[in-house]
Every structure is written in C-alpha cells, then in structure tokens.
Structure 1
Amino acid sequence: MSNFQLGLIIAGGVVLAAIVAFNAWSAHRNAPKRAKPPEPDGAAEPALRQEPAFDAGGAPVEGADVPGAGTDPSFDGHTVDLRDAMQLPVPPSERRGGLDPLIDAIAPLVAEQIVSGDAALAALPPTRRAGSKAFAIEGFNESTQQWETPVAGQRYSHFQAGVQLANRVGALNEIEFSEFVVKAQGFADAINAAADFPDMLHEVARARELDQFAGDHDAQLAFVLRARHAAWSPGYVQQNAVRLGFTPGAIPGRLVLPASGPGLPPVLTLAYDTQFALSDDPEQSAIRDITLSLDVAQVHRSEQPFARLREVAAALGEAMDGALCDQNGTPLPAMTMDPIAADLELLYDKLDSRELSAGSLLARRLFS
C-alpha cells in the first residue's frame, strides 16, 4: 500500500469521525431539555398537590395552604415567595354566599309547618341545573337563623328556590325559567309549601342585562412562552414551574399556581399539549411552547395576578430560554404589558362598582 493510499484512508477516517461527532453534538443540542436530577444533599422539590375540583357554584376551589409562588431567575435552589415580597393581603372572607338576588331569580317557598332537613333532602330534585343554569333550594335554619342548603337533622321554617340569571353560556331564557318553575313547584308540593314565583319576562330581561354586563367585562388573558432554541421536555417544564409554586393539575399537561388562601381558584394556569404528557416516553417529547393564562374575574385583585403572571413569565423565560409571545406567536416587548395592567385596574373598579368584585363568590358563579 502506497503512502498516498494510506493518507487517503487516514483522511477518510478523520472525516468520518468528525461527521459522527458532529451528528452526536447536533442531536444533543437539539434534544429536549430534561429535568435535572435531585440534589445530592437530599434537597427536594416543593410537595406536589392535585389541581382543585369545582365547588357547587361552578367555580374552581383550592382547599389547602400553598408553597411560595416565586423564585429568582437563577434558580439556585432557594424558593422566594413573591407574595411575601409584594406583601399581598389575603382576600377578605366572603360576605355573600348562596342565592343572591343580584345574580339569581328567587322564589320564596312558605311551608305550612316546620320541615325537617331529612324531609327537605328527600324532596330535592335529582339535578341542580335548569338548562345550563345553576338551580338551588335553600332553607332558613331555625337554630342558626341562616339560609343554607338543607341538612339532615335540622329544622326549617321556610325555603327559597333560585336559578342563576347568567353565566358564560349566556342569559337565562324562557325555557330554562320554565324548567326552574317546574322543579321548584315539585319541591314545594312535596313539603306542602306555597311558591311565589317572580314574573318570567322581568327575570329574563334582568338576565339579558346581566349577561350584557358580564360579556363586556369578562377578561381571560393568555400568553405563550416559546422556546428560542432547544425544546423542553415535560419534566423540564414541570421542574421549573414547581420552583415557582405551581402544582400539577388534574389534566395532564396542566399546572396551576394556587391562591394565597383556602377555597379560592388558582391564580394562574400553565398548560402545554396533553399528548406530550401522555406519550410513552415523555422525556423525549419536544415542547416548543407553553401557555400562561389568567381568568381575571375568578381571582381577587389583592392577589395581584397580572403582576405575578409577568414575574412568572420573566422567570421562566430566563431559566428556560423562552420568549414571551401573544397567541399568534408574535413576541411581546415589555412595554406592551403596562397598558394591559392599567386596563385591568379599570376593569376591577367596574366589577367592584357592580358588587361583583373579581374573585368574589358571586363573580366566580357569574363568570363560570
């Protein structure tokens, strides 16, 4: 074999090795980022909890205290609670609950005699809906002197039936009002009570006016965090989100940032394609974008949800090398967020003036 042939063989081997090395480097570079293994000193991520279910009014419920909701972008392993830093007040206790003439059509039901809770429960209709609207019956407890859903072992002097005037499906219509009357009258007959129903046309008109107000003041914000370079695995997304206080949701590919108190809907939602979370090998799934969303009417303004959304987006963007975009994929400069914040403050004021403050029980029922 000549020196020339030997040189060609060596050169070919070098080129082949270079190609293999480049392909390996390229595959590693483009592979989805994975979650880092636990720290050797035994440090653990914040405890994970399941996403809340729904309460009787159709509003999300979070029923336990929650971990801190923020961290600095360096992610040095020390969690920083953004709520402590901003000194956010805890939302006040609900002053109004149950049926309310502000958002419900209500019919008094006067019984001929005291009715036991057991008898009232046995007489309740099997469903708590009239069409697409929430339907409820409450009794006035003789002992507590409070309206409540009938409870076994209690005694009630009179009752009231109600149907919600509007929700995100639309306004109460004549068919739904008629269904409400049928159900309430059936309950009244069962407990020997006289029902006094409001005028249908008046209540339907009230429902349309309320629905118009709700439609004009409903805000659900969604922003996209898009990977600038390498994609993300589901574990990588969850690891970074958990460090900011998010907890896994009931739906795969969904995480929620709990509110500061029990019984309140989550402040923010983080979501990505469910198929990635359900794949046979999730760590090989390549997530290019995630969605951060805020349901304004469901969260009390004292939580400062939009400010926290901005903090979360900035922290995740820096840690995961992502760019904040609108739902069409257009990058959003920081200056575009200030006008949104100002508009939200005006929206909060308008909801307050209508006694439908964001995050209140009535607002959560109406905007559901």
Structure 2
Amino acid sequence: MAISELQMGLVGAGGIVVVCIFAFNKWQERKQRKQAELAAGGGAQAPVLSEMPADQGTRTRMEPVIGGEAAARAQPSAKTLSDASARRVPPLLPPEVDERADWVVRIESIEPVVAGRLWQASAQPLETITKPVRWFGFSDLDNRWESIGANSGNSYHWVCAALQLVDRRGPAGDADLNRLADGLQHMCDMFMAIPSVPAKGEALVRAAELDRFCAGVDIQIGVNVVAREHLFVGTKLRGLAEVAGLELWSDGCFHARDELGNSLFVLSNLEPNLFVAEDMRTLTTQGVTLMLDVPRVADGVRVFERMMSLAQQLADGLNGAVVDDNRSPFGEKAVGLIRAQIEQFQGQMGEYGIAPGSVLARRLFS
C-alpha cells in the first residue's frame, strides 16, 4: 500500500519529537551532574543513580543541614565521635548504690568534665534537698565507678548522682526529686551534658514502701547504770570504759567499735552534759546510759550481751545498779524478751534483703 505524503510527514515529526525528548533528558542529566560537582567543590564526578552499585541506591538519604559551614563546625569532630564510640559503657549503677534505696540520675558528656567543677556548679541548686546526695564518676582507665566530691580533680565522661530515698526523717518527697532533676539539668546545660532522669512516680512509691518497712524494725535498746549512794567519778568511769575497749569520740560519748571501726553501742552521760576528755577529771554524774541501735549492727544478740556485760562491770566497779528507763532492775526475764525482739527484727531485715549492720542499713537508719 502506498504511503501518502501526509503519513510520511507524521512519521518524520514523531521522530523529531523522540529525538528532542532524548536530548532534553541528557541535558537534565548533565545539569544535575554539574550541580553535584559544584556542591562537592569541584571534586570527582558524582555518579547518577543508574551508575551506582546496586546496594547504594537504597541507602538512607542525608538531609541538608540548615546553617551551612557554621552548623557543621558546631558538630562534634570525627575524632571526638570515634573516641566516644570506643569508650566502654559503664555498668548501670555503682556498687555502692542500691536501686531500692536510691534515685539515680546518670549524666553523659561527650567531652570529659572535671568532677569538682560539676560539684561546684550543682552545689547551690541542690542545697535545699533534704536527703543525702552522693556522686560517682566512671573511670575509663580503671573501668569502674569511683566516689567523687567537691575537690575531685579527675575528669569523666559518665557521672551519676544518687539521691537517698529514705532515712530516719522519713521518705523523700516529690520536691526533693524535682530539685535534683532541675538542678542537674541546669548543670548539664552549662557543660553540654545529657542527664538520664528516671521516673519520679515509681521512685516515690518505692520510697514510701521502704520507709514503712524501716519504721517497723527501727528499735533501740537502752539500759542505765545509776549510782546507789555516791555519784560516779569521771576518772574512774573513763578508766573502766577504756579497759573494756571503748573510745571517747567527739560526739561526747564512749563507743564500742567493731573491727572496721563502726560503732556497736555507745556509753553516754545520763545527765545533759556530754563527756569531754579534758573535763573527765572533775566530772561527777548520777549515772550513765548504754544504747544499742539494733538495725545498725550485725549479730545484734551478741552485741547486746556484750553491752549488758559492760553494764554489770560498771555497776560493780562504781557501786551502781543496772536499771531500765523506769528505774526498775533488769532481770533475766527482761533480758530474754529483749534477745527475742532483736532476733525477730533482725530476721525481718534479712528476709527483706537489708542485712543488719550493712552499709545500706547504716544509711537507711541514720
């Protein structure tokens, strides 16, 4: 069949259109390539998608950063990021911290910060907190948490602040947790650090429960040695106490100590005056009191028996009598009841996971 001039014209026009489309696509491709080269500072030619290896076409796209070179300079250097990724992530809590009794805020800093500077920066914001706050820094060199204070000169990437939730004044309140969180956030803003603040509601519930338990086992046993006829003389009293291994501390009491130096029980003046070494030569008193703080000692029955033995030694040496707070004589029946109480309460502490006389027990019952 013959092809008319009209048909030939249409075929030619179609070919021209196809050529134009192909040329336009090539021009767009070259334009995009030029733009990529200019953006790269005239470096090597950036491949178009069709020229990339198959596994690169699906990689995550990098979004542009507002601010250009200034924003790029504000980012951590490659070496800083490399050092950060190479650092060991510390254990969640220092061994001295107990998650039942402490509310712990961990702080991470890309650049190491001197511990003393952190302490000083947070001192004023945290001074109104009613509970003890302890600080720890993670040593990258020794791979361990270590206690830090106002004069600590070491630098750390990881620091944590531990707020004690319970003591003998009661549980921590919402105000204490808020003051700690706000104070640490202010400090972190100064040093470009990042705090990790745990849930407050859960900590408050935990504190209330722990405080209820502690209140139920918090007992102190006291026994008095009172003069029968003549007042006790300070020099003789001091001599008997020191022979028994007690030491006069700055709090005005004689202390019996364990092998670690912790106080087991105290001997104090029954009268308001404290015992002072320089005044013992002229001191006279109507009596003394021996006091055992049951949750703060291990093996409470043994410590109680030692305390009662000393009370009797003092009574014999000073011509006194061993009595209770009502001035009634201490008999074997009363001693037996006290032994049973000590065993009961210290047993409850052990079942709850707070060993009597442990570091945790001494913190909670302070």
TM-score by length of 2: 0.66
How many Å separate the matches in 2 of 1:224 and 1:270? 10
Give the corresponding residue for 2:131: 133
How many Å separate the matches in 2 of 1:158 and 1:291? 48
Question: Structure 2 counterpart of 1:104, which letter?
Answer: D
Q: Percent same amino acid among aligned pairs? A: 23
Asked if structure 1 preserves the Cα contact closer than 8 Å seen for 2:100 and 2:206, the reply is no
- The CA deviation string for residues 154-202 of structure 1, in whole angstroms up to 9 with x for no partner, is 3423222221111001111111111111222223223322222222222
How many Å separate the matches in 2 of 1:123 and 1:276? 39
Q: Which structure: greater helix fraction?
A: 2
Shift of 1:283: 5.4
RMSD over aligned Cα atoms: 2.7
Counterpart mapping for 1:134-283 below 5 A? 134-150=132-148, 152=152, 154-252=154-252, 254-262=253-261, 264=262, 266-272=263-269, 273-275=271-273
Question: Structure 2 counterpart of 1:317, which letter?
Answer: A
Question: Structure 2 counterpart of 1:332, which letter?
Answer: F
- The CA deviation string for residues 197-241 of structure 1, in whole angstroms up to 9 with x for no partner, is 222222111111111111011121111111222221222211211
Asked if structure 2 preserves the Cα contact closer than 8 Å seen for 1:297 and 1:363, the reply is yes
Using the TM superposition, name which of 238-247 and 127-136 deviates more: 127-136
Matched residue SS, 2:123: coil
Matched residue SS, 1:268: strand
How many Å separate the matches in 2 of 1:276 and 1:197? 45
Give the corresponding residue for 2:89: none
Shift of 1:137: 2.7
Matched residue SS, 2:107: strand
Asked if structure 2 preserves the Cα contact closer than 8 Å seen for 1:223 and 1:291, the reply is yes
Using the TM superposition, name which of 346-355 and 214-223 deviates more: 346-355
How many Å separate the matches in 2 of 1:226 and 1:302? 24
Asked if structure 1 preserves the Cα contact closer than 8 Å seen for 2:268 and 2:275, the reply is no
Shift of 1:332: 1.4
Asked if structure 1 preserves the Cα contact closer than 8 Å seen for 2:300 and 2:342, the reply is no
Asked if structure 2 preserves the Cα contact closer than 8 Å seen for 1:267 and 1:303, the reply is no
Matched residue SS, 1:267: strand
Question: Structure 2 counterpart of 1:106, which letter?
Answer: V
How many Å separate the matches in 2 of 1:345 and 1:281? 39
Instruction: Decide whether aligned partners of structure 1 residues 218 and 333 sit closer, same or farther in structure 2, where only a CA change above 3 A counts.
Output: same
Larger Cα Rg: Structure 1 or Structure 2? Answer: 2
Q: Across the two proteins, how many residue pairs are aligned to each other?
A: 270
How many Å separate the matches in 2 of 1:147 and 1:104? 16
TM-score by length of 1: 0.66
Matched residue SS, 1:125: helix
Give the corresponding residue for 1:50: none
Question: Structure 2 counterpart of 1:188, which letter?
Answer: C
Structure 2: which 5+ runs fail to align? 1-93
Counterpart mapping for 1:1-368 below 5 A? 97-117=95-115, 119-126=117-124, 131-150=129-148, 152=152, 154-252=154-252, 254-262=253-261, 264=262, 266-272=263-269, 273-275=271-273, 285-301=283-299, 304-368=302-366
